[in-house]
Amino acid sequence: MTEKEKAKKGDLYNPMYDKELINERFKVKDLCFKYNNTLPSKVDERNSILKQILSTIDETTVVEQPFVCDYGYNIYFGKNFYANHNLVILDTTTVKFGDNVFIGPNCGFYTAGHPVDVNQRKSGLEYAKPITVGNNVWFGGNVIVLPGVKIGDNSIIGAGSIVTKDIPSNVIAVGNPCKVIKAI
């Protein structure tokens, strides 16, 4: 089994010595650099580059600069997706966003995690767990979503939250760790 297959499966894998993963990261990071250094007013050029980075975008997708991801092909956007400045998606496995998702500035979605065992961690091993975001979700600024989290439809994640566990549909959740404070 390749390191890429292990990552998709959620097993421990080593991304640092696998030529395929290294080359894929360099390719997308070069494209992110190009995207981030394209004039904001050059919308068509920016969108052309973004289409080379991501699996799914359309005319309703807006990702403000700068934007950084690991691979791009593991990211799926629904219709009417908007991300403000400084979006980071560490997509070592799948990150899916539903329709009408709005993301404030300085947010991160991290599918990669590292072992608790120090020897495994020192050896470069990591794991990946998917992130799933439902429809009509709004993230305030400076939100971090950790590996394996699912966020239900119509929910709001308050600014500065660190989402460590699943959040149900139709709620407002805030804090570190992020907790439901109100049903909508």
**Cβ count near 76 (within 10 Å):** 18
CA distances from 92 to 14, 62, 115, 127, 173 (A): 11, 22, 15, 8, 26
Counting Cβ atoms within 10 Å, is residue 54 exposed (0-12), middle (13-18) or buried (19+)?
buried
What is the distance between the alpha carbons of residues 149 and 41, in angstroms, rounded to a whole number? 35
- Sign of the torsion angle spanned by Cα atoms 68, 95, 176, 172: positive
Tokens of 116: 């608790």
- Locus of tokens 């590292």: 114
- Locus of tokens 């560490």: 90
Residues annotated as catalytic (active site), given as ranges: 114
What is the distance between the alpha carbons of residues 53 and 19, in angstroms, rounded to a whole number? 19
